[in-house]
Structure 1
C-alpha cells in the first residue's frame, strides 16, 4: 500500500514556519479552513500575519461545525474556487481537518457526489496541498487517510478513506493547545487513547502500528491528567500532541473498531462530539468484548505501564478497563450517554454494523442483537 507520512513540524512556536513550506511548493494562495471561534484566536491572527508578511494570499472559510457536513464542504469549495486557491490550510480539531479534506476531494473529483466516496479508495486522485494545524491533541486526523463526513438529511456519519487524504504537512505547535478548555483536553485525549487501543487490539496491526499505539498509550496515560488540571503545562501538551499523531499513525494503518462505529452513528444522529462519544463508549465496548480482547488488551495495558507487568492478561485487562472508567470520572466525563433514544437503537445498530463489517478487524464480530444490547448499555439502561 502507498503509505506515506506527512512532513512533521513539531515544537512550540513553529507555526511561523508555515509560509516557508507553502512557498517551497509554489503555493501563493490558500484557503484557511476553521470555525468562527478559532478564527478569533491569537494563533489564527498570527497565521494571517505570517502569510501577509510572506505575500501569500488567503481566503477564509469559518463555517466548520462539529461533525462537518456535506454542505460545509460545498460552501468551502465554492470559496476555494472563487478565490483561485492553490492549497488548503486546516486550523482546528478533527472537524476542520476533515472539512479541508472534503474540499480536497471536491477539487480532485468535481463531478462525483461526496456521498459516493464513502468507504475505501474511492478518491484516487491527488488533492491540493493540504496543511493540518491541529488545535487539539486527539483526533490524529493530521496523520490519517480518513475524512469523516456527516449528512444531516440522512442522519448518517461515515468515513472516506484514501491515501491521498493524508495531509502533506502537519504543524504540531503545542502553544496552540495551551488554552484548550479542560473538557476538550479530556475528551480529545481520550479520543487518542481510543485510537491507540482499537488499533492495537484489532487483527490488522503490525510491528509499526503496534509500536506507535503503545508509545501513544504510554504518553496519554502519563500526561492527560496533567494537561487537564494544568492547561499551561507545555511539556504535557507537547506529549499529548505527539501521542495524538502516533495514535493516528497507528489506526490509519490498523483501523479501529466498534467504539468508533458506534460513536460515528451517534455523531450522525445526535451530533454527539466524537471525542466525548469515544470516551464514554470505550470502557463499555472493551468490557463487552470479554475474553475475545483480553489477551491483546492486557498486553497493551502492561506495555504502556498502566498495570503491573507481572499480572496475567485477564487481570490486566479487567484492571485497565476499571482505570479507564476512573480516568473518565476524574475528568468529569459521564459514564453513559442518555441522548440515545430507545426507538433509534435498531437504526443506530444497523449503521454501526454497516461501517464496522467487514472493514474493521475487530476482536469479535457482533450481531444485530448484540449491538443493540451494547447501545442500551451505553445509554445506561442495562
Structure 2
C-alpha cells in the first residue's frame, strides 16, 4: 500500500437465517418509538406486521411510512420526515430493497442536520450532528445499501439522481436475513443479483480499492457467481439465497469503501430519466462497460474470469479477462436481462437525452474511478451501444 486507507461499516451487522428476529432488541436499546420505512409489497407479504410485532414484544412502539415506490425520490424523503417529526419517533427502521434503505438514510441525516437532502450532495453541506439511529433490513440480495454510507435520491425537479456520500448516512445496524429474500420473484432476483455483482466488480476495479476492499470484493464475486444462477432458478434454495445475501453485503462493504465506477455513473441518469430500476440499469450496462475497460484492467478482470472458470488459472491474464467479459454477458443472457431497447425505451427519446445523461454521469464523479476514464463522447457512444447491446450466448472463449 502506498498510503493509508479507511474502512467504515455499520456498528453492528446481524446476518444469517432468522437475524430478522433481532430487530426488537437492536431497536429497544436505541429508542422506544420507531418509524418503519417500507413499501406496499412488504406490507402485502406480512413483513411490516411481523416487524411491528417483534418491536412490540420489546416495548417499542412503531408507525409506518410505506409510500416508497421503485426508485427513491426527494418527495418520499419529505413525506416520511414529516411523519417522523409528527409522531416524535426516536429511531428509524428500513425494511425492503435499496429504495427503502436509501430513503431512510436520508431521513436519519436530515432529521438532525436540517435542510434539503440535495444540500448534502458533493459535500456542499456536511452532516455534523449525529443522525437518528437507523436499522437497515434488506429484503433483496443486491444493493448492499445496508452497509454503505451513500444514498441515491432522485431530484423530482431536475430529473437528476443525486449520489450523496458521507459517513453520517451509514446505518447504525444492518440486519441481513436471507429468509426475507425468498419472496423475491425471479426478475427481482436477477436484477438485484447482477447489481450486487456490479458492486463487487467495480469495487475491485476502482482506482480507490485497497486490501480490505479487495478481500470483500473477491469473496463477494465468488459467492455471487456461484450462487446467483441457483437462486434465480429455484427461489426456495435457501443455501443459494444465504450465499447471495452474504455476497451482496460484502459487495456493499467493498464499494462503500473503494467507490463504484463507470457502470454506476452511467446507470443513475437512466434511472432518473426513464425510471429503470437501479439493478436493471446496472445489468444493462455492465458487459459493455467491462469491454470498454478491459485493456486497462486486464489483470483484475482475469481474477474474475478465473472465478467463472477455475480452469482459467493456467491461462494468460488476457484470455482470463476475455472469459470474465464473455461470462458476464452469458450470465445476463441466462437471467433474461434486456437491453435498453428491449426495456421499451423509445429510441428517439433516448437519443435526444444521451448528451445530458453523459454530462450527468461525469458530474457524479463515479466514472473518474474507472480503470479507463472516459470523456463525454465516449460515454455518449457507450449509451448508444448499450441501447441495442446483444448479450453473448457463446459457451467459452477459445
TM-score clears 0.5: yes
2:260 to 242, 247, 256: 256
Superposition pairs for residues 234-253 of structure 1, below 5 Å?
A: 234-253=238-257
Q: Are 2:354 and 1:350 aligned?
A: no
1:113 corresponds to which of 102, 112, 116: 116
Q: 1:172 aligns with which of 168, 173, 176?
A: 176
| Structure 2 residue matching 1:170: 3-state secondary structure | strand
Change (3 A) 1:133 1:306: farther
- Which residue number in structure 2 is paired with residue 11 of structure 1? 16
* Structure 1 match to 2:316: 312
Which of residues 227, 242, 247 in structure 1 aligns to 2:231?
A: 227
Q: Is the 8 A contact 1:29 1:86 kept in 2?
A: yes
Q: Do the aligned partners of 1:11 and 1:172 also contact (CA within 8 Å) in 2?
A: yes
> SS in structure 1 opposite 2:276?
coil
- TM-score, normalising length: structure 1: 0.95
Deviation track 1:98-141 (CA, whole Å, cap 9, x = no partner) reads 0001111221222x222111124732331111000000001000
Alpha-carbon spacing, 1:4–1:175, altered in 2? closer, same or farther (3 Å): closer
Listed as ranges, the matches of 1:66-145 within 5 Å are 66-110=70-114, 112-120=115-123, 122-145=126-149
SS in 2 for 1:55: coil
Q: Which runs of 5+ in 1 are unaligned?
A: none
Structure 1 residue aligned with 2:394 = none
> Given the superposition, is the C-alpha separation of residues 77 and 130 from structure 1 closer, same or farther in structure 2, using an over 3 Å criterion?
same
Report Cα offsets for 1:255-314 as digits up to 9, x if no partner: 011100111111111111000011110000010123112222113332565661111121
Summarize the Cα distance change of 1:135–1:318 in structure 2 as closer, same or farther, 3 Å threshold: same
Equivalent-residue separation in structure 1 for 2:207 and 2:235 (angstroms)? 36
Give me the whole-angstrom Cα distance separating, in 1, the residues matched to 2:303 and 2:341: 29
Q: Which residue of 2 aligns with 1:379?
A: 387
TM-align CA RMSD = 1.7
Q: For 2:117 and 2:340, locate their aligned partners in 1 and report how far apart those are by CA, in whole Å.
A: 33
Question: 2-side partners of 1:152 and 1:328: how far apart?
Answer: 31
Match of residue 298 from structure 2: 294
The alignment of Structure 1 onto Structure 2 pairs a total of residues equal to: 379
Q: Normalization by structure 2: what TM-score?
A: 0.91
> Gaps (5+ residues) in structure 2?
1-5, 391-398
Alpha-carbon separation, structure 2, partners of 1:325 and 1:304:
12
